[in-house]
Amino acid sequence: MTKIALAIHGGCGVMPENSMTPEEWEGARRDLGAALRAGYALLKAGGSAINAVEAAVVVMENSPHFNAGHGAALNENGVHELDASIMDGATLEAGAISASHAIRNPVKAARLLMEDGRAVYMTGPAADRFAEEKGLPVEPQSYFTTQKRVDALQAMKRHAAAGTEGTENEKHGTVGAVALDAAGHLAAATSTGGYTNKPDGRVGDSPVIGAGTYARDGVCAVSGTGKGEFFIRYVVGHEIASRMAYLKQDIATATDGLINHDLAPHQIGAGLVALDAEGVVAAPYNTPGMFRGWVTPEGKAFVATHEEVFEVEL
C-alpha cells in the first residue's frame, strides 16, 4: 500500500474578480470541492487512479462554472465542440475524443474508447456515434450552452473586430485531474470546450496524449490548461515526464521549467496540475489565477482560484 493523492484544475486565466459574481466564485470553489470529494472517495476506498480522475472530471463537466461539458465554450459559429482524454499510467493505455457535438460527459467516452482498445483517438460524428452506441447520454447543443458562454463569444467577436485582446477567461478554460492510488498507479484526465470563438474544427491539446494529458507509473501524471497549440508544440505532459525520468528533476522543477521558462517567451496563459509517484503535487500557472484543488497524502484538501487557498472538508 502506498500513499494516495489527487489534484484537479478548472482552467487558468486572468480571472478578474469582477468577471464573476461573489456567488459564482463561491459556486466554482464549491464544485472544485465536490470534484475532489468524488475522486478522493474512490481512492480512499481502495479504488483505482483511473476511476478517480474520471469521477473528478465528470463533476466539473457537469458544472456550469467550467469550460467543459455543460458550460463549454462556443466556437466561431456558435457551436460546442468538446474534447477529452484519459490515460492510465499503469499500462500507458489511453483514450481520447475530439470535436464532439453531443456527448454529455466526454471524459466517459474517452474512458470507454480506452477500454474498447481498437483506437486511442476518435473524432467528430464518429465519436458521438461511438458514445451513443456504448449507452452514454447524448444531449442537444442547448444542454451545453450557458449565458456566460454566449456573452463571452460576443465579447471575443467584438475584440476580433477591434483588434484587441480578450481576457484569458473569455478565451478558454479546461478541466483536469491527476491521481495516485493505493496500488501506486497514476492516471490523468482532461476535458474542454476549447477556446471561445475558435475556428470550426479546431482541436487543442486536451485530447492529445502526451501534450495536455499524460501519465506514467513511477514518474508522474499531468493535466494541462492554457493555449493548447503551445502545449502540443512542446508536448508538455511527456516533456515533464522525460525531464523527471531522464534528468532526474523533481516534479516542481520539471513543471516550473515548462510553464514559467520554456513557454514564457510566447506570452501565453498556461498552467497544469501534476503528481509524482510519491503523491507530491505541483500546480504552476503563469496567469493571475487558476481554478485548482488538491488532496495531500495526509488527507488534507484545499481549493483555490487566486492566491488565497481554502481548506475544504472531505
Among all residues, which ones are annotated catalytic? 174
Strand partners, 9: 176, 292
Helix/strand/coil percentages in the chain, nearest 5: 35, 25, 40
Neighbouring CB atoms inside 10 A of 78's CB total 14
For strands 121-123 and 94-100, give the pairing: parallel
Cα separation, 263 vs 269, in Å, equals 9
For residue 118, count CB atoms less than 10 angstroms from its CB and return exposed for 0-12, middle for 13-18, buried for 19 or more: exposed
Neighbouring CB atoms inside 10 A of 190's CB total 40
φ, ψ of residue 260 in degrees (nearest 5): -100, 0
Of 186, 209, 213, 190, the closest CA to residue 88 belongs to 186
Cα separation, 211 vs 121, in Å, equals 14
- Classify the C-alpha dihedral 240-243-248-252 as positive or negative: negative
- Quick one: cell of 90? 499503469
